[in-house]
Amino acid sequence: MEKECEQKAQKPLDDKSWMQNWLFTLGLKEHEFSNDGNCLFNALADQLGGDHTRYRWQAVDYMRKNPEFYKHFVPPKQVQKVNSFEAYLG
């Protein structure tokens, strides 16, 4: 029995097991969400409480206040469609 425990302790964790252990230490759990464009915000709401729209608006507000950092992550063609990064954020 002791040898079996040592072997398990020495076996490296795969990525999923490592992530589950890490989340557990933070008091969080893994959940799956649909790919509807809200998955990041749904995950925040699931773990932190509240509605996903709250986190979306907080993220957009932060991006509005820091456009020099974030505008480079949006494809130029997307920004050109609406004429500005501010308009892209909605």
Residue predicted with more confidence, 28 or 52: 52
- pLDDT digit string (tens) for 56-69? 999 999 999 999 99
Q: Where are the beta strands (DSSP E) in 1-90?
A: none
Question: What are the CA-CA distances from residue 60 to residues 40, 43, 63 (Å)?
Answer: 13, 16, 5
Question: Using alpha carbons only, what angle is made at residue 69 by residues 64 and 52, rounded to the nearest 5 degrees?
Answer: 50
Nearest by Cα to 62 from 73, 70, 53: 70
> Band of the pLDDT at 33, cuts 50, 70, 90?
confident
pTM of the model: 0.60
Tell me if 86 sits within 8 A of 67, measured CB to CB.
yes
Tell me if 88 sits within 8 A of 74, measured CB to CB.
yes
